[in-house]
A and B are shown apart, each in its own frame.
Chain A
Amino acid sequence: MDEVNRRDFLSWTGHGLGGAALASLLFRDGVLQAAPVPGESADRPPHHPPRARRAVHVCLCGGLSQVDSFDYKPALLRHHGESLTSGERPDVFFGQVGLLRRPDWEFRRRGRSGLWISELFPHLAALADELTVIRSMFAETSNHTPATFQENTGFRLNGFPVVGSWLSYGLGCATDDLPAYVVIPDTRALPAGGSINWSSGFLPARHQGVVVRSHGTPIDDLFPERPLDAAAERDSRDLLVQMNRRHLQARGDSDLLAARVRSYELAARMQLAVPEVTNFSGETRATHALYGLDRPETADFGRSCLLARRLLERGVRFVQLFSGGPFGGNPRINWDAHENVRVNHGGEAARIDRPVAGLLADLRRRGMLDDTLVLFTSEFGRTPFAQSAANVIGLGRDHNQYGFSVWLAGAGLKHGTAYGETDEIGWKAAEDPVPWHDFHATVLHLLGIDHTRLTYYHNGIRRRLTNVHGEVIEGILA
């Protein structure tokens, strides 16, 4: 981080409001509930003792190549340059099926577990014994956005709540000072569709993801653009409380109106909490280095990862980090390696490998990994054959919905293991195939939620994250 940015960043606490003034505004008497929201289910979690209390999700946009990262396929090395042996004509997104292509990175056994991970992620590979890799994921579509919707909402369409919103709805937040569901976008750009990706869909809007930026203004409207004089701010809130009390008295006892008074207290607490959580000055030099804040290629994502840890530490339920912006464009700023896997994945991995590994290591050394769930996914994988003319070993790979890898780490999982398999060349899930619904059911399970019981009534259906599907993947649970 350069000096100017740092000063910008630290100056948050200097804004308008003094801590003491705010504290005086807080009511100590009872917490009042807002009116119940139509649609909410009475069957509130936890449904069983949770293994994880919070989760962080690294969401890779564009499609990570499993055969170049977490799914080692010796046969693909042997068949490099050959055409597909199966008689099936692959139904790929861009319609081009080139020759089989070997991975661009070398695979090695890692750690005590001997998990195969490629040199694409050297730092993560060093933490192989923490990872629970699922190698047999499959999706319903190989179109980015519907696939991303499915990855995050269980459905292919716009308008459904994402995992973070479901968790906010089901579990709320462990703190009053910060939102339950925080989104940290890639510093280069928002993912395609922007806020569509953290929409609460038909859940009340308060469950949508709150964007906290790791650079610049962390949260919209947290403070006025022109700082107000601290005394004016304090007196404003006093006057407001007075006026609202009078209003309340004239109308009788109404929970709804009292809840508004409470919302102003919580807002004031957020104004203290957010500048504190986004201020890294208390972190040691070693921690900065652990996350790669001292290196130009990793500083962006490192800041995001460190911010994620600080948010989790302070009670945020679900932090979602995006790696990658919109699809298309040239050069690409996502994982969509149609043209050249080596160049594309090489560049993207260099941005996030050290920071994500740093996050894992930091959570572990703080003891947080025991009750924190870490998720690392992309919406689908890439084809083991090149995206090129039929007789060419092109440099890029097309979308592959039929088989791909994700990993989890942390609470309640079998560590240093891989679950499920793809076929010989890493194309299609072959053994223990895992649909997103099962993945989601498992994530909810670890957080103490029975996925069939977390429901919200919307337009005729008691909606679930898992639609009418989903089985907990027992094979990855500790």
Chain B
Amino acid sequence: MHRLMLLAPLLVLVPGRAAGQLPPKAPTFDRTVAPLLASRCLDCHGAASPRGGLDLTRRKSALAGGKSGAVIVPGKPAESLLWEHVERGRMPPKAPLSAAEKKVLHDWIKAGAPWGTDPIDPFRITTDRRAGYDWWALQPLGQPQQPRVKDAAWVRNPIDAFVLQRLEARGLRPSPPADRRTLIRRLTFDLLGLPPGPEDIDAFLKDDSADAYEKLVDRLLNSPHYGERWARHWLDVARFGESDGFEYDKRRPNAWRYRDWVVAALNADMPYDEFVRLQLAGDVLRPGDAAAVTATGFLVAGPWDEVGQRQQSAVMRAVVRQDELEDILGVVGQTFLGLTVHCARCHDHKFDPIRQAEYYQLAAALAGVKHGERPIATPEVQKRRAILVARGDELRRLVRGVDGEVTRAILAERAQGQPPRPEPPRPVARWVFNADLRDQLGALHGTAQGGAALKGGRLRLDGRRALVATAPLQRDLKARTLEAWVSLADLAQRGGGAISVQTLDGVTFDAIVFGEREPGRWLAGSNGFTRTRNFDGPAETEASKRLVHVAIAYHEDGTIAGYRDGKPYGRPYRSSGPVVFKAGKAQVVFGVRHGLPGGNKMLAGSIARAQLYDRALTPAEVAASAGRVDHVEPAEILARLSPERRAERQGWAAELANVEKELAGLDNLKAYAVTPQEPEKVHLLLRGEPGRPGPEVTPRGIAAVHGLAPDFPLSPGAPEGERRKALARWVTDPGNPLFARVIVNRLWHHHFGVGLVDTPSDFGFNGGRPSHPELLDHLAGELLRRKGSLKAMHRLVVTSAAYRQSSRWSAAAAKIDADNRLLWRKSPARLEAEAVRDTLLAVAGQLNRDGGGPGYEDFLVTVFGVTQSFKNVDRPGPEYQRRSLYRTWARSGRNNLLDAFDCPDPSTNTPRRAMTTTPAQALSLLNNALVLRMADAFADRLRREAGQNAARQVERAYLLAYGRPAVGEEAAAARQFIDRHGLPAFCRVVFNSNEFLYID
């Protein structure tokens, strides 16, 4: 059934502004005929691909008719094919027009079919089928007056006036205020997601001051647990997960930093607009600010299809990338604007006034967003880093001083007797790209593909299709060294291969790769990174200006060492051992990481020379090959030093090694965040298909949002960062009415269980209508007046009389408003999954309240090839007994207990959770290992705190679990049960009870 019809009896709909949006003298056509054609005919008879050749959007084409000739004869309905079809109910095919609608068309043709605005804009006016530009949510914020109410004494703040007005209009009365025990329990769960302790309750009950409640509110809002509680709500809409999903479901070890950023931002009451701007563009708004970079984790918190991105087919890769953008665009539109922009990827939005072109315009602003890890550094880390860098420089200077002296002596001796240049090692293949692609030493001659060309003594590679592939190897290759003199077209490229040895099918390979895992750095690439990882070398700064020499040596024992300009690059590491490339089954390629051309595998730049060795070169050999004449082996230097100086020098060297190790660790601080890349041109894609590009588009907002201009102040070809900045400004513009409405509704949703709009991420036609439209605008205005302070908004809401009502059921009120959308009581709330677990731990006295840092893992991981598989387990110990927010949210590593209580799939964004009641919940609370362990711990705690007396144990149990003393027969029943079956069994029953799970 249609949502509109469901709510119609209850809710006052925002009055249609259809007529109001039009100039007062708009022709009849625009008022009546155009909306009818738009809502009932243009889906098929539109301009894009008109059915039967009939395009009814323009006067000219409408009068011209379709394949069966003219359909409108002005002035003569009886002779008009259109009228004939409509009258007989043949058109529209499945749902004939009503009599009134038919009359509109009849009268119009009769009147000579006068046209109005040409072409018809189907988005102009809201109809019963779709929203137009006059849709309520798109209008500027109203400034509603506080309504007059009969029971003015009930009103604590303006919220109550808006609520009471609607109640009174329906003959309902608010419920009496809840008692203090109920209030502190409700408020503590709502703001912190945890139960109040008996001492907290006691203090609140004893506080006689007039503002006892307000003080409590402030105390709770200042608790660090507040940020944890509300971060979880935010992570639901951010579809936050800590693994890639899809086939591999690889872990994202640095994704938790975004979670911590959200907690910290909420606890610090960061203004909401700032909170959002940083998540969209923190890295460009505050370059160098680790927290701001981390904030962009929002954009890439969703799943990522690594296999899809790496597949051979360029067509399919493009589809995968478009799917990825839809995820990002979808979550941006829904989270901040309540707009389902993603529904316009293949066609104009069916229900909201969003054009397909606008989808791609918005996509153009986000087209540079890529998943990845980004280095970050906190101020403390930066300080420590500076100290280490300074000390490292000092140590290097000391070592160099000693070495330099000795080296000079050695070199002087060499100059006298020996050849001035050390003999460079002898490769097995050499390519010098000044005249041809021939192997000067053997038979590995190259062939150019995709426009690879020799020019100015270099092999030119365009980064798109160009590559050179050689003939197959003539003998097996195990230990080896790859070497190339290479220059890069730009340092922002990610993943191109300079020289690579690969099997002929392109599947197995070892390559010198630039920027793939981390921007700007050289690394050894291999299939699926099965054998290689980062060198942690410094970022490249020179290769865009000149040739640099890069070499990678693969040792027999698995050691892989990188070199740049003849010197060691980063740190060597041990791999599982070199793959043997078989004669006749492998080859060398230049310009591509491996396989067929395309994707991010292509190097943009040039190569002057390259060499292949059938053994791993030593550092001295690499230095010699790079043309360095000043290389002296450390052993040679040490041999010349006196024992004292040698010890001194070795001491410095050892300390230097430690400094570098620590530095490397600090430089390894990374966040899973946006790793931007300059986007290619963005085109509208016909039917959303990458193979069918339409016109090019530039970044722009959604025009239908009233109150701010859709255009971004950007020059054509604006860089990636500027685009996101512009988007962030547009989204958070105070004139954007959706921005404030959507967030205050989210807050309301969590405080009351249902939002004023019950679809918190969809304010469009398919979403819900506001139950209290004026209250929504009032709250949105309050947020702006309170400078985006979410804590101020919480305070406003929870101090209202509406919030402080009792939750008691009333059959009479339920008859009028069964869903309690008018708020005649405070609806009881079941604890969310995380709160169930956190409360079990808290009540049992086992909750570890430490915040932040990497998550705990409540699963065992099996790795099969590169695929991760997770098995949920209960792990005792404080590190596993932190709040559920701190669990590691692997997408396929779910938790049985949390799942049973409707914990959502982290692959999908969840603006409102389902709240179901199932046998699986019963089984979980009865049998789950954690629950039983907590029942034991709770029993221990009761014995500890209440001694052996069963009456006192029951008393304490009720206080801890329910926040109230046991009364009358329930205490007796509990004591009897404990006598027969012991305290742990009783604790288990408590955990299963409704009073434990439901908050009044």
Question: A residues within 8 Å of B by Cβ?
Answer: 34-35, 37-39, 41-43, 91-96, 140-146, 156-160, 179, 189-190, 192-196, 199-206, 208, 210, 219-226, 228-229, 231-232, 235-236, 239-240, 242-244, 246-248, 251-254, 256-257, 259-260, 262-264, 266-267, 269-271, 325-330, 387-389, 457-462
**Interface 1/0 per residue, B523-543 and A, CB below 8 Å:** 000000000000000000000
CA distance A264 to B924 in the complex (A): 11
- Do residues B908 and A460 form an inter-chain contact, with CB atoms below 8 A? no
Partner of A247, one of B807, B870, B896, B994: B994
Instruction: For A94, list chain B residues within 8 Å (CB).
Output: 312, 505-507, 595
CA distance A203 to B911 in the complex (A): 13
* 18 intermolecular pairs with C-beta atoms under 8 Å apart: A37-B916, A91-B313, A91-B316, A93-B313, A95-B595, A143-B316, A144-B307, A193-B891, A194-B893, A196-B245, A205-B904, A221-B926, A231-B981, A242-B973, A264-B919, A326-B865, A459-B761, A460-B764
Q: Looking at the complex, which of B211-219, B650-658, B878-886, B927-935 is the stretch in contact with chain A?
A: B927-935
Would you list the 4 A-B pairs with minimal beta carbon distance, nearest first? Answer: A460-B340, A252-B809, A328-B865, A159-B908
CA distance A289 to B901 in the complex (A): 41
- Do residues B927 and A146 form an inter-chain contact, with CB atoms below 8 A? no
Instruction: For B764, list chain A residues within 8 Å (CB).
Output: 460
- Quick one: closest B residue to A33, CB to CB? B917
- Do residues A143 and B766 form an inter-chain contact, with CB atoms below 8 A? no
Instruction: For A202, list chain B residues within 8 Å (CB).
Output: 904-905, 908, 910
Chain B: minimal CB distance from A159 (Å): 3
| Number of B positions contacting A (CB below 8 A) | 109
**Interface 1/0 per residue, B979-1000 and A, CB below 8 Å:** 0111001101100111101101
Q: With A157-B323, A220-B872, A252-B808 in contact, do A143 and B924 touch (Cβ < 8 Å)? A: no
Q: Which of B319, B974, B981, B988 has the most CB of A within 10 A?
A: B981
Instruction: For B504, list chain A residues within 8 Å (CB).
Output: 389
Q: Which of B946-1000 contact A (CB under 8 A)?
A: 970, 973-974, 977, 980-982, 985-986, 988-989, 992-995, 997-998, 1000
Q: With A95-B595, A144-B247 in contact, do A263 and B985 touch (Cβ < 8 Å)? A: no
- Do residues A146 and B807 form an inter-chain contact, with CB atoms below 8 A? no
- Quick one: closest A residue to B304, CB to CB? A158
- Do residues A327 and B313 form an inter-chain contact, with CB atoms below 8 A? no
Work out how many contacts link A and B, with CB atoms closer than 8 A: 295
Q: Which of B308, B316, B905, B977 has the most CB of A within 10 A?
A: B905
Q: With A145-B307, A235-B980 in contact, do A193 and B245 touch (Cβ < 8 Å)? A: yes
Q: At the interface, yes or no: B39 with Cβ under 8 Å from chain A?
A: no
Q: At the interface, yes or no: B343 with Cβ under 8 Å from chain A?
A: yes
- Do residues B305 and A95 form an inter-chain contact, with CB atoms below 8 A? no
- Do residues A256 and B989 form an inter-chain contact, with CB atoms below 8 A? no
Instruction: For A146, list chain B residues within 8 Å (CB).
Output: 246, 305, 308, 320
CA distance A157 to B992 in the complex (A): 37
Partner of A95, one of B506, B810, B872: B506
Q: Which of B883-916 contact A (CB under 8 A)?
A: 891-894, 896-897, 899-900, 902-905, 907-912, 914-916
- Do residues B305 and A459 form an inter-chain contact, with CB atoms below 8 A? no
Q: At the interface, yes or no: B311 with Cβ under 8 Å from chain A?
A: yes
Partner of A141, one of B303, B316, B907: B316
Q: At the interface, yes or no: B559 with Cβ under 8 Å from chain A?
A: no
Q: At the interface, yes or no: B358 with Cβ under 8 Å from chain A?
A: no
Chain A: minimal CB distance from B825 (Å): 10
CA distance A242 to B314 in the complex (A): 65
Q: With A93-B312, A196-B892, A328-B866 in contact, do A257 and B994 touch (Cβ < 8 Å)? A: yes
Partner of B932, one of A157, A224, A271, A462: A224
- Do residues B305 and A145 form an inter-chain contact, with CB atoms below 8 A? yes
Instruction: For A143, list chain B residues within 8 Å (CB).
Output: 247, 305, 307-308, 311, 316, 320
Q: At the interface, yes or no: B22 with Cβ under 8 Å from chain A?
A: no
Instruction: For A93, list chain B residues within 8 Å (CB).
Output: 311-313
Instruction: For A232, list chain B residues within 8 Å (CB).
Output: 980-982, 985
- Do residues A460 and B334 form an inter-chain contact, with CB atoms below 8 A? yes
Instruction: For A42, list chain B residues within 8 Å (CB).
Output: 1
- Do residues B916 and A159 form an inter-chain contact, with CB atoms below 8 A? no
- Do residues B340 and A239 form an inter-chain contact, with CB atoms below 8 A? no
Instruction: For B980, list chain A residues within 8 Å (CB).
Output: 231-232, 235
Q: Which of A142, A228, A244 has the most CB of B within 10 A?
A: A228
- Do residues A235 and B977 form an inter-chain contact, with CB atoms below 8 A? yes
CA distance A254 to B908 in the complex (A): 31
- Do residues B891 and A196 form an inter-chain contact, with CB atoms below 8 A? yes
Chain A: minimal CB distance from B880 (Å): 17
CA distance A152 to B989 in the complex (A): 39
Instruction: For A34, list chain B residues within 8 Å (CB).
Output: 916-917
Instruction: For B319, list chain A residues within 8 Å (CB).
Output: 140-141, 156
- Quick one: closest B residue to A457, CB to CB? B766
Instruction: For B981, list chain A residues within 8 Å (CB).
Output: 229, 231-232, 235-236
Instruction: For A328, list chain B residues within 8 Å (CB).
Output: 864-867
Chain B: minimal CB distance from A204 (Å): 4
- Do residues A194 and B870 form an inter-chain contact, with CB atoms below 8 A? yes
Chain B: minimal CB distance from A175 (Å): 12
- Do residues B905 and A327 form an inter-chain contact, with CB atoms below 8 A? no
Chain A: minimal CB distance from B255 (Å): 15
Known: A93-B312, A142-B316, A201-B907. 12 other contacts (CB 8 A): A92-B313, A192-B249, A199-B905, A225-B927, A252-B810, A263-B919, A267-B922, A270-B919, A326-B864, A460-B351, A460-B767, A461-B766
Chain B: minimal CB distance from A380 (Å): 12
CA distance A330 to B340 in the complex (A): 44
- Do residues A248 and B994 form an inter-chain contact, with CB atoms below 8 A? yes
- Do residues B312 and A92 form an inter-chain contact, with CB atoms below 8 A? yes
- Do residues A193 and B247 form an inter-chain contact, with CB atoms below 8 A? yes
Partner of B896, one of A221, A257, A326: A221
CA distance A222 to B506 in the complex (A): 49
- Do residues A208 and B867 form an inter-chain contact, with CB atoms below 8 A? no
- Quick one: closest B residue to A156, CB to CB? B323
Instruction: For A271, list chain B residues within 8 Å (CB).
Output: 923
Partner of A145, one of B247, B865, B1000: B247
Instruction: For A200, list chain B residues within 8 Å (CB).
Output: 905
Chain A: minimal CB distance from B185 (Å): 14
- Quick one: closest A residue to B768, CB to CB? A38
Q: Which of B213-267 contact A (CB under 8 A)?
A: 239, 245-249
Instruction: For A231, list chain B residues within 8 Å (CB).
Output: 980-981
Chain A: minimal CB distance from B822 (Å): 17
Q: At the interface, yes or no: B315 with Cβ under 8 Å from chain A?
A: yes
Instruction: For B862, list chain A residues within 8 Å (CB).
Output: 189
Partner of A204, one of B246, B334, B902: B902
Instruction: For A458, list chain B residues within 8 Å (CB).
Output: 908
Partner of A196, one of B767, B907, B970: B907
Q: At the interface, yes or no: B758 with Cβ under 8 Å from chain A?
A: yes
Instruction: For A252, list chain B residues within 8 Å (CB).
Output: 808-811
Q: At the interface, yes or no: B708 with Cβ under 8 Å from chain A?
A: no
- Do residues A199 and B928 form an inter-chain contact, with CB atoms below 8 A? no
- Do residues B869 and A190 form an inter-chain contact, with CB atoms below 8 A? yes
CA distance A254 to B1000 in the complex (A): 12
Q: With A142-B316, A157-B327, A459-B762 in contact, do A225 and B308 touch (Cβ < 8 Å)? A: no
Q: At the interface, yes or no: B330 with Cβ under 8 Å from chain A?
A: yes
- Do residues B985 and A96 form an inter-chain contact, with CB atoms below 8 A? no
Q: Which of B799-813 contact A (CB under 8 A)?
A: 807-811
Q: With A141-B316, A144-B247, A157-B327 in contact, do A329 and B896 touch (Cβ < 8 Å)? A: no
Instruction: For A140, list chain B residues within 8 Å (CB).
Output: 319
- Do residues A204 and B914 form an inter-chain contact, with CB atoms below 8 A? yes
Q: At the interface, yes or no: B828 with Cβ under 8 Å from chain A?
A: yes
Instruction: For A246, list chain B residues within 8 Å (CB).
Output: 970
- Do residues B312 and A220 form an inter-chain contact, with CB atoms below 8 A? no
Partner of B989, one of A144, A193, A240, A253: A240
- Do residues A221 and B924 form an inter-chain contact, with CB atoms below 8 A? yes
Q: At the interface, yes or no: B921 with Cβ under 8 Å from chain A?
A: yes
Instruction: For A193, list chain B residues within 8 Å (CB).
Output: 245-247, 249, 867, 891-892
Instruction: For A226, list chain B residues within 8 Å (CB).
Output: 932
